[in-house]
Chain A
């Protein structure tokens, strides 16, 4: 079965960096675009970034202001999010999500998320 397991979250001071990872299994990872979506405590879902199935196309939400970098390793079935110059407003649960094959079904599988807390 499809599994997405995020890791790398934690407590970090403002201005520091953190790298999140998502381990994928149960499907052909290299066939799917992958997304990061975050959810601040008590708030709704906010899209963060997407990377195409082959890693060539990457797009980010404007609010990330160039501080985040999405990447993937298809040989290891893993997705990553490098977050730099973190701010208190980046505190959230970060989910990785698989886009349905062909991009016609939204994000059909989600991990359970990894919590990032930015605090001094």
Chain B
């Protein structure tokens, strides 16, 4: 099983500032990584796939980077609606796995 480790667990950032979330894979997953946003009471929403491609309708302030084992999700100029939990997911093989999540909270 590929283990995904996210950091930090909680990130406190002020609106308008930049947030940087990290995700590490226990083995190389090439660029087979996605990022999801989940708000309370809602299903996860796909933000980024292929490590750096924004999904349909996702604002340009969301960007992803990385390959192999190290990945980053950057949210530039945080908006109020961006405060949520973010998960990374690897889909390098049939058995997909998720990171434990990063809670992005208002500072």
Contact check, B49 vs A104: say whether CB atoms are below 8 A apart.
yes
Interface footprint category on A: 20 to 34
Contact check, A50 vs B43: say whether CB atoms are below 8 A apart.
no
Nearest Cβ on chain B to A95's Cβ, whole angstroms? 6
Contact check, A47 vs B97: say whether CB atoms are below 8 A apart.
yes
Query: Within residues 82 to 112 of chain A, which ones have a CB less than 8 A from any CB in chain B?
Result: 95, 99-100, 103-112
Is A72 at the interface (CB under 8 A from chain B)? no
Q: Scoring A residues 19 to 47 as 1 if CB is less than 8 Å from chain B, else 0, what string do you get?
A: 00000000000000001010000001111
Nearest Cβ on chain B to A54's Cβ, whole angstroms? 14
Q: Could you jot down 10 A-B contacts, CB within 8 Å?
A: A45-B38, A50-B95, A62-B1, A95-B43, A104-B32, A105-B34, A107-B34, A111-B43, A112-B43, A113-B43
